Amino acid sequence: MFGIPGKSPVTITPRAAAQIAKLMQKGDHAGLRIGVKKGGCAGMEYTMDYVDVVEAHDEVVEQDGAKVIIAPMAQMFLFGTEIDYETSLLESGFKFKNPNVVDACGCGESIKFDESLGAAR
């Protein structure tokens, strides 16, 4: 919908693809929906949900057994994002390297996008 033909809207690292595939198999889901919503101290936050049905206008990215689904309203905010999965001594989880983010809070959960993206809607 907001993408460039022939270019994936997001990239998935091999670690993230392995974790997403593992989560999909565990619950027998069609994929993992990535989105954004209002909230958090910086104004927006990422969302992740299991999905069993892919909607007509969803963007689907498949890699190494992983399927990431992006809802139409989130596509412009996520375009160019790299999804990674990191593990450290204290925590493990998905990390988003998003070129559209202009600010983030210290907790790493809340982000702020370039205001021109919202105007594009």
23 sits in which H/E element:
helix 14-27
What was the pLDDT predicted at 83?
94
Between 104 and 64, whose confidence is greater? 64
DSSP state, residue 39: -
Strands 92-97 and 81-87: antiparallel
Give per-residue pLDDT as tens, 58-94. 999 999 999 999 988 888 888 899 999 999 998 899 9
Q: What is the largest CA-CA distance in the chain?
A: 41
Residue position matching structure tokens 């949900």: 49
Q: What angle do CA 97, 16, 87 make, to 5 degrees?
A: 85
What was the pLDDT predicted at 87?
93
Q: Per-residue b/e over 98-121, b at no fewer than 16 CB within 10 Å?
A: bebbeebeeeeebbbbeeeeeeee
Between 117 and 89, whose confidence is greater? 89
Residue position matching structure tokens 């205001």: 115
Sorted by where each starts, the structural domains of the chain and their CATH numbers stand as 10-115 (2.60.300.12)
User: Would you say residue 12 has pLDDT above 70?
Assistant: yes
User: Would you say residue 34 has pLDDT above 70?
Assistant: yes
Between 42 and 119, whose confidence is greater? 42
Q: How confident is the model at residue 6 (pLDDT cuts 50, 70, 90)?
A: low
What was the pLDDT predicted at 108?
61
What was the pLDDT predicted at 3?
54
What was the pLDDT predicted at 16?
96
